[in-house]
Structure 1
């Protein structure tokens, strides 16, 4: 039986706990497709899982990674619409085809084994075929979580419309995927950045905010947002102590703001993002790629955790 290289996380105190194993190559079940993984995009979630800071379920000895692009190498007898050789990506949540994600039990690389391995077999319903484009495997892998999250933030509730203003906090994966910036603000040199946002917008505030700081930045986001605006809470990079937490309910009420938590998104939202990106050949930003292998992946985790990056960090298998 052919074997493959698989990375598993044996502990949750450091990404140094990653270990490489030889395991069987999976075959496609009746309603599954088997995929040769070509690239995996990393997220801050992967750092949080490896260091025990992820607030949702994680299985023991998990195969990490949730964002994969690759080629179909096997098709189950009950599968329609896919053939060997199709270039595809896999959804973050294998169970949610449309509508809101109902729990955290089906996200790859956390409660179930993920994609840092050479081959995966997944339900065909959780796979999105990619259009012809100039984008690389690493660019398409980067769309799985970050692209879906951005699309959900902008179109999952009240749709973004021409003329709206958007504030992206930081230069993490989701934020850079939403970029097309007219202005930049350095939060280190301008710690009261909400005031600067108000100056730039002539006191109107911004219509949409991609809020990835969490409890440590939500107060300034509420100060920076326009009346009737939208804040998409997509991360927890900057937590605050409980006794310093702002009155989010009161601040949101005072400005008629929608504060909406984003749990990545459904397959339908991913398909919408893929269609949009593919039709326009949007160059999804990838900064650096590392080769697949235990030591190289550890280096990739360390690079991502250093926050030196301004674009996506990926693992290539070819």
Structure 2
């Protein structure tokens, strides 16, 4: 029997985590001709989820949104014109539901789950069939629920520019141990690339080495880590890809690390903002490409999932898993940076 209600969270206001409201009998939208009803077994959190109830999210939002962009589950039923899925299939959600291929545009930008469209922190969700991807067979639901945002962003950073796509033997520079950075390490090593990672502690350095990083630089001990990274490349020529998560506070060092015709993909600004930051002229001086990215397309996600399956890659998931009803505690746990890797939520049994 098709369920009629769903346990779910909504964001009501911008007062902080108190704006999160739990409803044990939320309504389930009607399944349209091209829609798929999914029982969501697991979801994972991103920094974006934390700032939405704080009123700090800069992209399209609607009131009383069901939060969460990342989820994995089982198809319960499909609309009469659905061709991509059938009941029983295991699926993962796409971040921007309308971003099928190519570059983002205004329309696809306004289809973000958990912001513009109701997201994954609910037992049952209805999604257009174009906004779902088959789940990699080598992953469980908790692992698969981490792929929608962080993993796809890392994949886009390395493969989004087809003419500069990562090649075996090239060098990638990653920053820290956040979700995107860890996925970038895993994808780069699977592709036969070398990885230079930065971190702030010896404990995290050991973890990065276990994940495959060839060199780890402690940026607290080596403030000029960009120059240090470049010296670690063949002939000191610099790295081909920088996965830039710090933003203005780290960009100067990323520019020192990147080689000629290298690519710096900006995916965040967790280091905060500062006035003394590089200018556009620095891109010319370093003869490199600097690009901002927002997750990726469905076709990229399908390629990524195929690679995950072929190389038997497994996301790094925090050992603590929260129940759906304890979502506020999960938000606090992540806000306090107690997690390592991706933080997951068990949604429905």
- TM-score under structure 2 length normalisation: 0.85
The residue correspondences of 1:141-290 to structure 2 (distance < 5 A) are: 141-157=145-161, 158-179=164-185, 180-201=212-233, 203-241=236-274, 243-247=275-279, 249-290=280-321
> Quick check: 1:139 aligned with 2:143?
yes
2:337 corresponds to: 307
Q: State which of 127, 132, 135 in structure 2 corresponds to 1:127.
A: 132
Distance 2:77 2:343 in 1: 28
Q: CA deviation at 1:44?
A: 1.3
- How far apart, in 2, do the equivalents of 1:277 and 1:116 lie? 24
- Which residue number in structure 2 is paired with residue 16 of structure 1? 18
Aligned residues of 2:244 and 2:265 also touching (Cα < 8 A): yes
In 2, Cα distance between equivalents of 1:115 and 1:307: 22
Distance 1:189 1:309 in 2: 24
Q: CA RMSD in A?
A: 1.7
Q: Check the 8 A contact 1:2/1:25 in 2, yes or no.
A: yes
Q: Deviations over 1:209-243 (max 9, x none)?
A: 110111221111111111221101111212223x3
Distance of 2:53 and 2:321 partners within structure 1: 18
**5+ long unaligned stretches in structure 1:** none
Shift of 1:168: 0.9
TM-superposed deviation, 1:261: 1.0
Counterparts of 1:11-160 in structure 2, within 5 Å, are 11-21=13-23, 22-103=25-106, 104-133=109-138, 135-157=139-161, 158-160=164-166
Write the distance in 2 (CA, Å) between the matches of 1:240 and 1:214: 7
Q: Extract unaligned runs of 5+ from structure 2.
A: 186-211
Q: Among residues 290, 293, 308, which one is paired with 2:324 in the alignment?
A: 293
Check conservation: 1:20, 1:293, Cα contact below 8 A. no
Q: Counterpart of 2:76 in 1: which secondary structure?
A: strand
Does structure 2 retain, via aligned residues, the 8 Å contact 1:290–1:297?
Answer: no
Q: How many positions carry a matched residue from both structures?
A: 314
